[in-house]
């Protein structure tokens, strides 16, 4: 397509779960529901259309060892794009990926800066590793560097304890979250276990990643405060292998990880039933491959979330939560075309017919 070309998208345009239109037009990279006057150079695609998928927890520019070269980060972003994930919330990365913003063929990224962790309490080469007295300063730094988000490591294995434990005292997270909010940033935290959740929520946190430690006592608190979770179930599936690897040295931790894994679907369903906002995220970019947003939607359905709600968690609702448009008049034309209705069977998401990014058919 030339820069002056018009793209005509026909079929069933899923503007929302219950709002369906028959066609849209892409002019100058933007969506219009009005046929452009005197359109001559017109290309047409047909099918069932969704806004670009959202992966609300991934890491572009990171692998299991730490930051990666730009060419590797590019491959990660292209993998997500080709799978239909066109909006990514990067939940912590030591790499500077701002150059991606200048590429109209790569997904849009909302960054949370670099992870902030307790000293020697996270994966090597990933995070700023600090002590509680420095937490406010580092949160302010990452709030200024990010795109409206900051990422804390809320719990990790304590080698002296031999199990997961909270990383930060209550007063430190209260002050840090207040500072982030003062600077206009939201705060999320990596949390596997139970211990850190109440303090983080009562301190005003906006989101929790993984959230496998939710219980009957803390789920109502999340619901009351409107704290979202991004369960990353495709990542939680790795817990048994992680537990096996740590069994000899940390048997208590290994047993805990297995328990969290065994109840993962019940945890997510209980949170959803209580009204906790749930969104799609994969945790790609550590040890997990990119391009798994569709798999995560399917995992949410296995947890018992209704298919349309699971679909919304990775499309309409996720975009609204992140403050980005969907298939709105005048919005950037970031959309994915499928051969069948994804509301009827979310497995359709694994096989996009066309991917359109910034108005161009890129896949």
Tell me the pLDDT band of 219, cut-offs 50, 70 and 90. very high
Contacts of 128 by beta carbon, 8 Å cutoff, 6+ apart:
114, 115, 116, 117, 138, 142
pLDDT grade for 27, boundaries at 50, 70 and 90: very high
What fold characterizes domain 6-50+325-362? Urease, subunit C; domain 1 (2.30.40)
pLDDT digits (tens, 9 = 90+) for 222-252: 999 999 999 999 999 999 999 999 999 999 9
Q: Give this prediction's pTM.
A: 0.97
- Tokens 């995220």 belong to which residue? 281
For the chain, the straight-line distance linking the first and the last C-alpha, in angstroms and rounded, comes to 13
SS3 1: coil
Tokens of 134: 């420095």
8 Å CB contact between 279 and 223 = no
Cβ proximity of 201 and 215 under 8 Å:
no
Query: pLDDT category, 2, cuts 50, 70, 90?
Result: very low
**CATH 3.20.20.140 describes domain 53-322:** yes
Q: CA-CA distance, 299 to 214, in Å (whole number)?
A: 18
Q: Which of 107, 108, 109 shows the shortest CA–CA distance to 78?
A: 107
Residue 363 — very low, low, confident or very high, per pLDDT cuts 50/70/90?
Answer: confident
**Per-residue confidence (pLDDT) for residue 3, from 0 to 100:** 47
Q: What is the mean pLDDT of residues 296-320?
A: 98
Q: Is the pLDDT of residue 56 over 60?
A: yes
For the chain, domain boundaries: 6-50+325-362, 53-322
Q: How far is CA 362 from CA 24, 141, 206, 334, 342, in A?
A: 18, 36, 34, 10, 21
d(CA 273, CA 196): 22
When pLDDT is cut at 50, 70 and 90, the band that residue 286 belongs to is confident
Element (H, E) at 259: helix 251-262
Is the pLDDT at 5 greater than 90, yes or no? no
Average pLDDT in the 166-179 region? 98
């Amino acid at each position: 397509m030339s820069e002056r070309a018009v793209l005509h998208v026909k079929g069933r345009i899923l503007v929302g779960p219950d709002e369906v239109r028959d066609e849209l037009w892409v002019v100058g990279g933007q969506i219009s529901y009005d046929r452009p006057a005197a359109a001559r150079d017109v290309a047409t695609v047909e099918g069932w259309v969704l806004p670009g998928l959202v992966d609300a927890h991934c890491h572009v520019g990171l692998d299991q060892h730490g930051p990666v070269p730009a060419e590797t980060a590019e491959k990660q972003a292209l993998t997500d794009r080709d799978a239909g994930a066109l909006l990514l919330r990067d939940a912590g990365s030591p790499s500077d990926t701002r150059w991606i913003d200048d590429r109209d063929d790569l997904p849009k990224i909302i960054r949370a800066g670099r992870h902030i962790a307790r000293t020697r309490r996270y994966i090597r080469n990933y995070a700023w590793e600090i002590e509680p007295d420095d937490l406010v300063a580092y949160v302010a730094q990452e709030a200024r560097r990010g795109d409206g988000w900051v990422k804390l490591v809320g719990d990790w294995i304590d080698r002296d304890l031999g199990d997961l434990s909270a990383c930060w005292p209550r007063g430190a997270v209260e002050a840090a979250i207040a500072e982030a909010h003062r600077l206009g940033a939201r705060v999320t935290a990596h949390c596997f276990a139970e211990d850190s959740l109440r303090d983080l929520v009562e301190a005003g946190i906006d989101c929790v990643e993984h959230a496998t430690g939710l219980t009957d006592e803390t789920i109502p608190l999340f619901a009351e405060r409107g704290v979202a979770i991004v369960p990353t179930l495709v990542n939680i599936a790795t817990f048994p292998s992680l537990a096996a690897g740590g069994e000899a040295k940390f048997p208590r931790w290994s047993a805990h990880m297995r328990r969290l894994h065994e109840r993962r679907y019940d945890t997510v369903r209980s949170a959803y039933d209580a009204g906790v906002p749930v969104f799609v995220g994969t945790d790609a970019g550590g040890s997990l491959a990119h391009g798994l947003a569709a798999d995560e939607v399917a995992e949410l359905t296995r947890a018992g979330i209704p298919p349309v709600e699971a679909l919304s968690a990775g499309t309409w609702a996720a975009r609204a939560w992140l403050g980005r448009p969907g298939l709105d008049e005048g919005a950037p034309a970031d959309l994915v075309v499928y051969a069948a209705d994804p509301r009827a069977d979310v497995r359709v998401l694994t096989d996009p017919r066309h991917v359109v990014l910034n108005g161009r058919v890129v896949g």
